[in-house]
Structure 1
Amino acid sequence: MSDPSLKVLVVEDSRTVGAFLSTTLRAFGYACEVVTTGAEALDHYGAAKPDLILLDVMLPDMEGFAVAERIRRDDPESWVPIIFLTSLESEDDLSRGIEVGGDDYLTKPVSRVVLKAKIHAMERIVAMRRRLIELTAQLSEANKALARQSEEDALTGLANRRMFDLILAREIEHSRRTKQPLTLVLFDVDYFKRYNDALGHIHGDQCLREVAQVLRRACRRATDLPARYGGEEFALILPNTPRTGARLLVQGVARLLAGARIAHPDSPIGEFVTFSGGMATVIASDTTSSLSLVRAADEALYAAKGAGRNRVISFDGDSAPAPAP
């Protein structure tokens, strides 16, 4: 059965032959347009992108060979079958047609049986190409999904631990090369186990998603990376950011979290969810590593917890006031 969606462009300067081909193709069930010059063929191809071209070799303004060559040259990413219509039968002409991008020949006068057979053959190729394009698109989407899964935390949509490790190593190298400051902040949701014990893990997961959204909203530069470090721990990688700039950003995170007013039914320090944070800023040297920077931020985080939580402490001992509820 013919594919009614197959669009055929006939390029034929003989009105008699053009009318015969048009009538025959439509009787076969194909959509068909007829043009009479090479220039019209190129214009129509660019505008309509037909699925098959029947191309007369001898046209009033240029050879069909030149038309085919232009189509192949100007649109190398696409492919459309080109069947030459010709009364030429020399081997040199056949060879030239293939070299410029033709796929087959029909000798005039055109036989309806041969025409149908050749178009059916090309139709199968077009169908296979469409399927290949469809499968390629599906594969591309699948690869993108796999890439997202390898980079994103499934619960929060932030960068996952693997992505965090990759980006932190890259930014340490960038800081080492440019002599620009790099700040790492580790956050821990205060008394999160009590939150889970009081409300259950479903509410706990929602709490973590809301905290992640707060971190995402606070990061306005494309280079800033919020990540889920693990469990109820989060991280911010802040390239080209000195301690003072990081402090301002962390204060913004605290305000956003306070504004979210996530109720905590069993927190000893307030009625809403809060966080503790540890911050470390370096201009990376040859001895700086991901492990050393994480260890410094982690030590500051534990100092913040020991100081009563609901605060951020820098590795050098600078402590921020507890964020207002």
Structure 2
Amino acid sequence: MTPSVHKNHTLVLVVDDDLVIQMQLRYAMQKEGYQVLVANDGKAALSIYIESNPDLILLDAMMPVMDGFSCCAQLQELNANIPILMITGLNDQNSVDKAFAVGAADYITKPIHWAVLRQRVRRLLQMHWVMKELQSRIEKEQLIAKITQKIRQSLNLEIILSTTVIEVRKLLKTDRVIVYRFLPEGNGYVIVESVAPEWQPMLGKVFEDTYFSDKCTYNYQQGNIYTIDDIDNAGLSQCHIDLLTELQARANLVVPIERENNVWGLLVAYECSRPRKWDKLDIELLIQLADQLVMAIQQAELYQKLEIANQKLQQLASIDSLTEIPNRRSFDEVLEREWNRLEREKAPLSLILCDIDFFKNYNDTYGHPAGDKCLKEVAQVLNQVIQRSGDLAARYGGEEFALILPNTDATGAVYIAETILLQIRSQNLIHESSKISSYLTLSLGVATIIPQATSSLTWLIAKADEALYRAKETGRNRYCIHQ
């Protein structure tokens, strides 16, 4: 079905140096309801085209300064995607061929037959609007495909939303496009925005306006879409006018983003410089993109839940269930990571291995539940002694614990070891079956190295273990340092 010509929005440029013909053409086009601009020669026509972008050009072939053929050729160089009806007094095949060669869509000869002119103008405009609508539909379908692909490729909701508003504003050639996010309280804020440089940004702005909370939320829940072509002639309430004025809007198109029967937010296009008649394709585009954004939101929320679950699983896999400090697996991962980092930085790494003295006797005397409680208390002391975020206290195995101390030299490691012994003694944990004390004690082995390619993690652990063995052999309740 051929669409009707949009007369009220059709701009015709008449280019003719003959004032009589020029006036006749202007009158004929205005009588048809078209808006008309006039130029006296081809050079002036180019300037008017660049400034006004008309829908059709009536172009006389023979003119001073720049003739119609040259003007038509230059319009093609400007990628003028509009119909040009050449008016020529030269009724010969060469002139006709030349007109078509330089880009004319059709021609008419003088003297002008006005009924023929009107018919050809209408036909050219109909073809122009059909092609323009087809091109617009193709571009919008490509945008939807692009956003859909972005959703499939990215789990980052902010990137998807930002891509959407940027591409929509570019395609609709409008001044501002936002995604407005509703908050539980009924107000909301601009979560993403694409705005032309001459207009004030609204990104992150919170709107407390009662228009949204009192009225629009319910209406949007019904799936309503709002179009305002001109805020001055739309019969709006004062609070709505104030809101649109704050957004510097003269016209807007609003589509709700619904999530599980609730309005998650709004996808909004604003025309700030002038009123605008939103066409069917504009509305269809935003509706389809709002549907795509719902998918993106669902996907992002599922991903976020999965990330939280994975973090919990990771935490469970890295934490000792009894003492609630990092386990041997976590110890191995952190020690390797810090070794590699400090090898690059040529900085020291210290390791302390700790062992509860006569722990088997403790379990035999007080029972395993008491032994478990003892392990928890020792772990708590070790965790309190380390002060820096990069330090790690871990359960190494059984009644053994380990401390990883990055960027810590031997002096610093000895200080930590002495502090551990003092803190354990201050706990006054009774251990009647110990062979060296009435209270619980620890033995510690300390080793320090500057990691390098000629050494290894195995070497550091072995030296700390040797120092721990020496502490036990020389009486326990002490620390020894690898020499």
TM-score for the superposition, normalised by structure 2: 0.45
Deviation (angstroms), 1:188: 0.4
Letter in 2 for 1:62: R
The answer to whether the aligner puts 1:298 opposite 2:465 as a matched pair is yes
Give the conservation status (yes or no) of the 8 Å contact 2:430–2:439. yes
Distance 1:198 1:46, change over 3 A: farther
Deviation (angstroms), 1:102: 2.8
Alignment of 1:149-168 (within 5 A): 149-168=316-335
Task: Provide the residue aligned with 2:265 in structure 1.
Answer: 80
Partner of 2:224: helix, strand, or coil? strand
Deviation (angstroms), 1:82: 6.6
Supply the RMSD in Å over aligned alpha carbons: 3.6
Distance 1:282 1:63, change over 3 A: same
Distance 1:222 1:300, change over 3 A: same
Give the conservation status (yes or no) of the 8 Å contact 1:184–1:280. yes
Deviation (angstroms), 1:212: 0.3
Task: Provide the residue aligned with 2:339 in structure 1.
Answer: 172
Task: Provide the residue aligned with 1:242 in structure 2.
Answer: 409
Q: State the distance in 1 between where 2:397 and 2:477 align.
A: 19
Q: State the distance in 1 between where 2:347 and 2:420 align.
A: 23
Deviation (angstroms), 1:131: 8.2
Task: Provide the residue aligned with 1:307 in structure 2.
Answer: 474
The answer to whether the aligner puts 1:200 opposite 2:367 as a matched pair is yes
Higher relative contact order (CA 8 A, sep 6+): 1
Q: State the distance in 1 between where 2:390 and 2:407 align.
A: 9
Structure 1 residue ranges, 4+ long, deviating more than 4 angstroms after superposition: 41-51, 81-84, 128-138
Deviation (angstroms), 1:137: 5.7
Give the conservation status (yes or no) of the 8 Å contact 1:81–1:102. no
Task: Provide the residue aligned with 2:128 in structure 1.
Answer: none
Deviation (angstroms), 1:103: 5.0
Letter in 2 for 1:271: S
Give the conservation status (yes or no) of the 8 Å contact 1:187–1:301. yes
Q: State the distance in 2 between where 1:239 and 1:203 align.
A: 33
Task: Provide the residue aligned with 1:216 in structure 2.
Answer: 383
Q: State the distance in 2 between where 1:233 and 1:171 align.
A: 21
Q: State the distance in 1 between where 2:352 and 2:211 align.
A: 54
Letter in 2 for 1:94: K
Task: Provide the residue aligned with 1:63 in structure 2.
Answer: 251
Task: Provide the residue aligned with 1:96 in structure 2.
Answer: 282
Deviation (angstroms), 1:144: 2.2
Deviation (angstroms), 1:64: 2.6
Letter in 2 for 1:98: E
Q: State the distance in 1 between where 2:348 and 2:211 align.
A: 52
Q: State the distance in 2 between where 1:312 and 1:156 align.
A: 23
Letter in 1 for 2:224: L
Distance 1:303 1:47, change over 3 A: farther
Q: State the distance in 1 between where 2:299 and 2:343 align.
A: 46
Give the conservation status (yes or no) of the 8 Å contact 2:318–2:330. yes
Q: Structure 1, residues 136-179: CA drift from partner, whole Å, max 9, x if none? A: 56534422220111111111111111111111111111221111
Q: State the distance in 1 between where 2:210 and 2:408 align.
A: 54
Letter in 2 for 1:276: S
Task: Provide the residue aligned with 2:151 in structure 1.
Answer: none
Partner of 2:431: helix, strand, or coil? coil
Partner of 1:102: helix, strand, or coil? helix
Task: Provide the residue aligned with 1:54 in structure 2.
Answer: 224
Q: Structure 1, residues 14-36: CA drift from partner, whole Å, max 9, x if none? A: xxxxxxxxxxxxxxxxxx99xxx
Deviation (angstroms), 1:282: 0.3
Give the conservation status (yes or no) of the 8 Å contact 1:55–1:82. no
Partner of 2:404: helix, strand, or coil? strand
TM-score for the superposition, normalised by structure 1: 0.65
Give the conservation status (yes or no) of the 8 Å contact 2:393–2:404. yes
Question: Greater CA radius of gyration, 1 or 2?
Answer: 2
Partner of 2:287: helix, strand, or coil? coil
The answer to whether the aligner puts 1:279 opposite 2:417 as a matched pair is no
Distance 1:204 1:45, change over 3 A: farther
Q: State the distance in 1 between where 2:435 and 2:310 align.
A: 46
Give the conservation status (yes or no) of the 8 Å contact 2:252–2:268. no
Match of 1:289 among 443, 446, 456: 456
Distance 1:80 1:155, change over 3 A: same
Q: Show structure 1 runs of 5+ residues with no match.
A: 1-31, 34-38, 73-77, 85-91, 105-121, 317-325
The answer to whether the aligner puts 1:226 opposite 2:393 as a matched pair is yes
Q: Show structure 2 runs of 5+ residues with no match.
A: 1-185, 188-201, 232-248, 258-262, 270-277
Q: State the distance in 2 between where 1:254 and 1:46 align.
A: 66
Deviation (angstroms), 1:216: 0.6
Letter in 2 for 1:214: V
Partner of 1:57: helix, strand, or coil? strand
Give the conservation status (yes or no) of the 8 Å contact 2:421–2:477. no
Give the conservation status (yes or no) of the 8 Å contact 1:152–1:163. yes
Q: State the distance in 1 between where 2:454 and 2:297 align.
A: 55
Between the aligned residues of both structures, percent identity stands at 38
